[in-house]
Amino acid sequence: MSNRATLVTAHAWYYGFDLAVERRRGLSDVEDHLHIATFEATLNLGESITFVASTEEKPDLNGETAQKLQHAHEQKLIELWQGNHSFNTDYPAWLNHLVLAADQFIVNRPVTENLCGKTIIAGYHWFGDWGRDTMISLSGLTLATGRPEIARSILRTMKLYVDRGMLPNRFPDAGEQPEYNTVDATLWYFEAIRAYYKATEDEDLLKELFPILTNIIQWHCRGTRYSIHLDSADGLLYAGEKGVQLTWMDAKVGKWVVTPRIGKPVEVNALWYNALRTMAKFARQICQPHQEYDAMADRILTSFSRFWNQETGYCYDVLDGPNGHDPALRPNQIFAVSLPESPLTPMQQKGVVQACQRELLTPYGLRSLSPNHPQYKGYYGGDQLQRDGAYHQGTVWGWLLGAFVVAHLRVYGDGNQAREFLQPMAYHLIDHGISSLSEIFDGDAPFTPRGCIAQAWTVAEVLRAAVAIFSHF
């Protein structure tokens, strides 16, 4: 609707539009367009016109009122962000744009007929809500921005979907069943709860969720879907079966799993260690037995040394896979440094950060594979086979920049250098999806943005890293 334009209806088809980008993507490259109507208005110098487009059942069609309400909402978001932090130095104004962008990913998820929870859209314009993306994004989108009540709603919504000790990878749309093909989403749930509790000290929610977390650990110890189980020989988590993708590197074309990573992935076991240390602290907080969790974590701490590749000076990506240990330099090991509980020695942490900075770091995130690897692909494009074949084989992921910055800050304590790592994202705000951050980028210069023009965990992790940096000064 419009406040001053006249609607002139039409019903004209225009056939055979050529879609060059879709052709490059290996998709249907011709479509027909229907011209439904035309808005006509005469504007004099200095005048404006307002259009209202809404998905609400009964929208307010007063454009001026809607605009004022939106401005008031955005001002409130900025005030919450600013009120949640007392930085000792001025933060850059471009972070305000990310605070507003963060709000766009938070949506309602109907849980029952009478109950509506909160969840996070993974990216626009292709994705719905995903368990892994939601848990990783929660801290940056809600806690960093001063909105813990939304985090609480999301965490409570997620518990309703835990099944056999697992969170879904993809949440269901109407009439669909959840998909549980993920090993790490559930472990990120522990970290999301830890971050929430640190920010709020909400012991009531901790007590509510603690039995769920206990059940999750029990399932992982005895084994759940897709051979996810604790290996009794070393206490590490094993995961994977042929034809299934379980980690965040989950590209699959037909029956081809591009990066299967069957065995003991490094980030999965870093998350497992972090989860057990977190559970021990939770148990102490609410006066529950904690000794078992500490003992399990102590054992992992010893076994995690198996990941260290003395020859390369950084971690194996996967242990005990079908072909032995995988020495490929991927960014997954950065989480063994950036998570609150690290199983690496200070020397090893520094080695990981240096290796990632040397071969994986770009202005917009970390490459998913070292350019020195024979399977590296520096360009993300072509048909689905080509795109998915490059998705985790060199393509840069923006969300990994957050973990790298936090890890670098942990190792070097250099807030100024950490701040410089984020600066390219300020320029990217006007580069692809205006006032938001992209999903991925080419691995080769000039690092062209690709994929979703607005990605939840990219925005979230840059915000989380920014809070860590400006709280450091």
Q: Would you state the pLDDT for residue 126? A: 87
Q: Would you state the pLDDT for residue 329? A: 98
Tokens of residue 24, six digits: 């490059």
Q: Would you state the pLDDT for residue 306? A: 98
Q: Hunting for tokens 């848990």 — which residue is that?
A: 135
Tokens of residue 31, six digits: 């479509």
Residue 383 near residue 313, CB atoms below 8 Å: no
**What is the pLDDT of the chain when averaged over all its residues?**
93
Work out the pLDDT band at 91, boundaries 50, 70, 90. Answer: confident
Tokens of residue 126, six digits: 């292709």
CB atoms within 10 A of CB 410: 19
CB atoms within 10 A of CB 337: 26
Q: What is d(CA 387, CA 380) in angstroms, rounded to the nearest whole number?
A: 5
Q: What is d(CA 310, CA 160) in angstroms, rounded to the nearest whole number?
A: 43
SS in 3 state form for 52-97? CCCCCCCCCCCHHHHHHHHHHHHHHHHHHHHHCCCCCCCCCCHHHH
Whether the pLDDT of residue 2 is over 80: the answer is no
- CA-wise closest residue to 191 among 235, 120, 132: 132
- CA-wise closest residue to 340 among 261, 279, 290: 279
Q: Hunting for tokens 């490459």 — which residue is that?
A: 367
The residue ranges of every structural domain in the chain are: 1-51, 84-472
What is the CA angle 404-409-415, rounded to 5? 120
One-letter amino acid of 420: E
> Is residue 424 packed enough to be buried (19+ CB in 10 Å), middle (13-18) or exposed (0-12)?
middle
Tokens of residue 447, six digits: 């690092």
The number of angstroms, rounded, from the C-alpha of 18 to the middle of its chain's C-alpha atoms is 34
Q: Give SS3 for 403.
A: helix
Whether the pLDDT of residue 39 is over 80: the answer is yes
> Is residue 426 packed enough to be buried (19+ CB in 10 Å), middle (13-18) or exposed (0-12)?
middle
Whether the pLDDT of residue 171 is over 80: the answer is no
One-letter amino acid of 157: T
Residues 235-293: pLDDT tens digits? Answer: 999 999 999 999 999 999 999 999 999 999 999 999 999 999 999 999 999 999 999 99
Which comes out higher in pLDDT, residue 190 or 69? 190
Q: What is d(CA 247, CA 169) in angstroms, rounded to the nearest whole number?
A: 10
Q: What is d(CA 462, CA 437) in angstroms, rounded to the nearest whole number?
A: 9
Give me the percent of the chain exceeding a pLDDT of 70. 97
Question: Average of pLDDT values for 395-400?
Answer: 98
- The residues with which 33 forms a beta bridge, in sequence order, are 14
> What's the half-sphere exposure (Cβ side, CA atoms, 13 Å) at 149?
1
One-letter amino acid of 105: F
The CATH topology of domain 84-472 is Glycosyltransferase (1.50.10)
The reply to whether omega before 446 is within 30° of 0 (cis) is: yes
Instruction: Specify the pairing of strand 30-40 against strand 365-367.
Output: unpaired
Question: Average of pLDDT values for 453-467?
Answer: 97
Q: Would you state the pLDDT for residue 61? A: 73
What is the CA angle 379-383-385, rounded to 5? 85
Q: Hunting for tokens 């406040």 — which residue is that?
A: 3
Q: What is d(CA 307, CA 183) in angstroms, rounded to the nearest whole number?
A: 18
Q: List Cβ neighbours of 154 (8 Å cut-off, separation of 6 or more).
A: 117, 118, 119, 120, 134, 138, 142, 192
> What's the half-sphere exposure (Cβ side, CA atoms, 13 Å) at 183?
34
Q: Would you state the pLDDT for residue 1? A: 61
